[in-house]
Amino acid sequence: MKRTHLWWALAALVVGLAVTAGGPLRAAGEHINYADLNKIKAEGLQRSQVMELCSWLSDVYAPRLTGSPTAQRAADWAVRKMTDWGLVNVKIEPWVNKNGFERGWTNDKFYMAVTAPERFPIPGTPTAWTPGTTGPIAGEVVLMAATTVDDLAPFKGKLKAKWVMLQAVPDVPAYWDPQAKRYTPEQLASLELNPPPPVLEFGVTPPGAGRGGPTPAAPAAPQAFGGGLAAAFNAARHEFLRAEGALGTIATVPRGHGLYTISGNRAADPATTLPAISIAAEHYGRIGRMLAKNVPVTIEADIKSTFYPNPAVFNVVGEIPGTDKADEIVMLGAHIDTWHSATGAADDGVGVAAMMEAMRILKASGVKLRRTVRVGLWEGEEQGLIGSREYVAAHFASRQALPAAPGAAAGAAPAGGGRGGFGGPQGPLEMKPDYDKLSVYFNIDNGTGALRGIYLQGNDAAGPIFREWMEPFRSLGMTTITVRNTGGTDHQSFDGVGLPGFQFIQDEVEYNSITHHTNMDTFERLQPNDVTKMATIAAGFAYLAANRDEKIPRKPLPVPGQGGVGRGGQ
């Protein structure tokens, strides 16, 4: 037996002993109304509407880039749908702050092709918030794999009216292993352990180390804008290309198999920004290899993008009123915004559909809810959990900025920076009137995979409660609790101000390998059985939280001035 196999066997044994010995994983003595849960299961599993909701979001109202007209139409649709179901207080709630969304953007036409030495089309997508072309244009291609400012000098005077490829031709590995993955029993057992298991062999990443599941995320595409030193170089490179008169830039990722990733910078000024295109490695590589043979390559393109000044940026909310504890709140949520190279089915149309379906299930099943159950569909997640942060700041609590450190550079990142704003030192907490009214927030945002458990975000006191809640859903695959953190989803906006916010553990399926931020994130990648169970479990957890005598316990707040909730935390 290999050492890795031995480790998983021991991990499973330790977890099993902890459960049978009545260790820290024992149940909390929760009151569970199985008759009501059976109503929820019957509605969710036998009369599901979730895939139809997925289709509306993936096929009709997509893509939903924050600030785009389609995002607005999707929000209007969600309001109509939830109102038809009988939810109340359904509305589009604008953000208090625009967060840099001074303009919306859509890509309305994309054509790109090599015209010499041979003709072939180039499928691709413009980076968000970059301009189009001034009608059809053509130019030769230059490969400029610069990584430092000094690397730019040899290209001075050589880029006018040229398309510029920004990186070397990548090697593309074969798909040696299946791309769709589910958690194995051994991996789920490992997640139960804290701290995480050690890396036993060089280059081996423990399962569960990535945001989406057992495997680490694929490398991100080179972006026109980044952070720190990369941002400074990217800005200098872009200014150099613009001054030299380049037509635009082309980038790729080493995934191959027709895949490419996309992003964008909402602060880009269309008057000074070049068209930036992402394409698959196969087309990128063919062009690059011809250039390496000193064969000139000419590309023609016709790209139309539209900018919309002062776009609406918002969240969508709706609720089912409670009874004797109606002033207390249980929340479900997912992000309604997407990137634009596909339709955002797995990221995160499926989460939105599941949480909307959970609300429909609760309403249609007729179960009584003591607390009010509210759903939040967040915009701006892809730009840093902005929508959920705005909502939390407006309704529950916000972090005040720490005083600038002596000698800090002007324009330095504010305290609590990083994705979600909770990765750095924490300022004092400014609580809003509803801070003590929220019981719990549950989030779905890791693709189409089945729910297998829940991350506790270090909230040990919630573990025994959730363990007993999972028992009615064990037959649906819901079995695992880990005290570890996970990051990169909207639960951090709640967790970062000391509120119980949780993300479910999900099977990865193809999330990191195929769909996440790629041109393949479409309805076809969704797994109906997983999604149906996902919505049913979310409805069940909302029901149990709404009818519990006490709110979900909270963990201690971070001390002001010290580090907060990290992004990954694994």
- Over residues 267-296, the mean pLDDT reads 97
Tokens found for residue 47: 């009369």
Supply the pLDDT for residue 427.
78
**CA distances from residue 332 to 246, 380, 408, 438, 563 in whole angstroms, order as listed:** 47, 17, 39, 11, 27
CA distance 482 to 15: 11
Tokens found for residue 73: 């139409």
Supply the pLDDT for residue 413.
37
Supply the pLDDT for residue 406.
54
Supply the pLDDT for residue 404.
59
> Angle 528-547/350-365 helices, nearest 10 degrees?
50
- Over residues 153-161, the mean pLDDT reads 98
Residue 72 Rama label (left phi>0; alpha psi -120 to 50; beta): alpha
Tokens found for residue 548: 């519990």
pLDDT band at 219; cut points 50, 70, 90: very low
497 pLDDT more than 60: yes
Helical spans, DSSP H, in 263-385: 281-292, 350-365
**Amino acid letter, residue 285:** G
Q: Which of 287-301, 406-420, 451-465, 542-556 has the lowest mean pLDDT?
A: 406-420
pLDDT band at 562; cut points 50, 70, 90: low
DSSP states along 374-420: EEEEES-GGGTSHHHHHHHHHHTEEEPPPPPPTTPPTTPPPTT-SGG
200 pLDDT more than 70: no
% of residues, the chain, pLDDT over 70: 83
CA distance 93 to 519: 30
pLDDT band at 199; cut points 50, 70, 90: low
37, HSE (Cβ side, Cα atoms, 13 Å): 19
pLDDT band at 542; cut points 50, 70, 90: very high
pLDDT tens for each residue of 323-355: 999 999 999 999 999 999 999 999 999 999 999
**Higher per-residue confidence, 194 vs 240:** 240
> 12 with 191: CB under 8 angstroms?
no
Beta strands at 163-165 and 137-143: parallel, antiparallel or unpaired: parallel
pLDDT tens for each residue of 428-455: 899 999 999 999 999 999 999 999 999 9
- Show the CA angle centred on residue 529, arms to residues 34 and 207, nearest 5°: 95
pLDDT band at 560; cut points 50, 70, 90: low
> 303 with 132: CB under 8 angstroms?
yes
Q: Is the dihedral of CA 186, 41, 376, 501 positive or negative?
A: negative
Tokens found for residue 127: 């980076």
Supply the pLDDT for residue 403.
67
**Amino acid letter, residue 194:** N
Strand partners, 378: 315, 335
* CATH numbers and ranges of domains, the chain: 24-101+312-399+416-547 (3.40.630.10), 104-167+222-309 (3.50.30.30)
User: Using the 8-state DSSP alphabet, how is residue 540 labeled?
Assistant: H
> 492 with 568: CB under 8 angstroms?
no
> 539 with 469: CB under 8 angstroms?
no
> Angle 350-365/69-84 helices, nearest 10 degrees?
10
Supply the pLDDT for residue 230.
87
Q: How far apart are the first and last CA of the chain?
A: 27
CA distance 534 to 357: 10
**CA distances from residue 355 to 183, 349, 352, 443, 511 in whole angstroms, order as listed:** 23, 10, 5, 8, 19
Supply the pLDDT for residue 25.
40
490, HSE (Cβ side, Cα atoms, 13 Å): 35
**Higher per-residue confidence, 140 vs 420:** 140
> 542 with 356: CB under 8 angstroms?
no
- Over residues 306-314, the mean pLDDT reads 97
34 pLDDT more than 60: yes
Kindly state the helix (H) or strand (E) to which residue 495 belongs, with its residue range: helix 491-495
Number of Cβ within 10 Å of residue 309's Cβ equals: 7
Supply the pLDDT for residue 229.
79
pLDDT band at 198; cut points 50, 70, 90: low
Q: Look at residues 388, 322, 383 and name the one whose alpha carbon lies nearest to residue 352.
A: 388
Q: Which of 316-320, 342-346, 482-486 has the lowest mean pLDDT?
A: 482-486
**Please, which residues have CB within 8 angstroms of residue 351's CB and are 6 or more apart in sequence?**
334, 335, 443, 444, 445
**Please, which residues have CB within 8 angstroms of residue 538's CB and are 6 or more apart in sequence?**
332, 354, 355, 358, 442, 444, 451, 504
Q: Look at residues 327, 366, 396 and name the one whose alpha carbon lies nearest to residue 551.
A: 327
pLDDT band at 400; cut points 50, 70, 90: confident
Sheet of strand 248-251: strand arrangement: 120-121, 103-116, 298-309, 137-143, 163-165, 248-251, 276-279, 124-126
- Torsion angle defined by CA atoms of residues 37, 41, 47 and 49, in that order, rounded to the nearest 10 degrees: 100
DSSP states along 144-207: ----SGGGGGGGTTS-TT-EEE-SPPPP-----S-S-B---HHHHHHHTSSSPPPP-STTPPPT
1 pLDDT more than 70: no
pLDDT band at 216; cut points 50, 70, 90: very low
> 170 with 252: CB under 8 angstroms?
yes
Supply the pLDDT for residue 197.
62
Strand partners, 401: none
**Amino acid letter, residue 480:** T
- Average pLDDT over all residues of the chain: 88
% of residues, the chain, pLDDT over 90: 80
- Over residues 171-199, the mean pLDDT reads 89
- Show the CA angle centred on residue 166, arms to residues 160 and 168, nearest 5°: 125
Supply the pLDDT for residue 155.
98
CA distance 69 to 61: 10
Supply the pLDDT for residue 426.
67
CA distance 244 to 247: 9
Q: Which of 130-144, 198-212, 344-358, 365-379 has the lowest mean pLDDT?
A: 198-212
What does pTM read for this prediction? Answer: 0.88
